Structure 1
Amino acid sequence: MDAGVLYISVPYRTCGHLCCCGCGQEVVTPLSPAQWSFTYDGESVSLTPSIGNWSLPCQSHYWIRDGRVRWSRRYSPAEIDRNRDRDRRLLAQGPGSREPAQPSWLRRLLQFWRS
């Protein structure tokens, strides 16, 4: 693989790239409704959700948006564990499963005042 290139195989439902931190590790993301998906707007590609390389020594975390890397903050070991647990639950629930969105602080405040 070449650095800076996102390889997409629709027949094999997978994407691959070298870790964006520069460590040289290969990163493979399976494409499925319960895992990753990509969009192509005719010019650039976005991959959703973020890439959390928790199993790699670098533990890098980033988004691929509009053909560019957007870095995320470093997660603590506890946050990594929570993410892994959530991902396992969603994968077990099947295609199209998503974690319910957390209500915004404003919505929670309104709910508090209404109760």
Structure 2
Amino acid sequence: MMRHRSLEHRFVRNTPRELEPGVLYISMEYATAVHSCCCGCGERVVTPFTPTDWRMTFDGESVTLNPSVGNWNQDCRSHYVIERNRVIESGPWSDAQVEAERRRDKRVKAEYYNRASAPARLDAPSTGPASGAQQASGPWSRFWAWFLK
């Protein structure tokens, strides 16, 4: 059962050491949202905004995070969606479902970051500043290239 049914969003540069329960801290500079687990266990939940992780939508009044938040590494194993500042409890996942999602996530990251770090072909037309060769030098691309080795 979720202790927090809604979250107040706060745009910050850095997240505080001590998280206030019921607050979703959003750092656009670090492309990350952080909050205290909505079940009330107090665990810190970090959701990075990347092409293969979470997306944050701000409509001027509320925040939505996609996909759901699954705290599989924490004792509570809570699972919920944050939609328009509301916390919607989702059903628990079995160990098999969690493991399948971890494999899928690793595969998606490998495909994305391998594609992003592939050298540009000399005969391929440039797609502008966001071309694969440009993305390969970004910190996330370098991190995932290192992580997936």
Give the AA of the match of 2:39.
Answer: C
For residue 68 of structure 1, the aligned residue among 86, 110, 113 is 86
**RMSD over aligned Cα atoms:** 0.9
For residue 20 of structure 1, the aligned residue among 31, 38, 42 is 38
Higher alpha-carbon Rg? 2
Alignment of 1:1-115 (within 5 A): 1-94=19-112
Tell me the TM-score normalized by structure 2: 0.62
User: C-alpha deviations, 1:55-98, integer Å up to 9, x for none?
Assistant: 00000000000100011100011111011111111111116xxx
Distance in 2, Cα, partners of 1:34 & 1:75: 20
Per-residue deviation at 1:13?
1.1
Tell me the TM-score normalized by structure 1: 0.80
Count of residue correspondences = 95
Distance in 1, Cα, partners of 2:52 & 2:37: 22
Per-residue deviation at 1:29?
0.8
Distance in 2, Cα, partners of 1:85 & 1:71: 24
Give the AA of the match of 2:87.
Answer: V
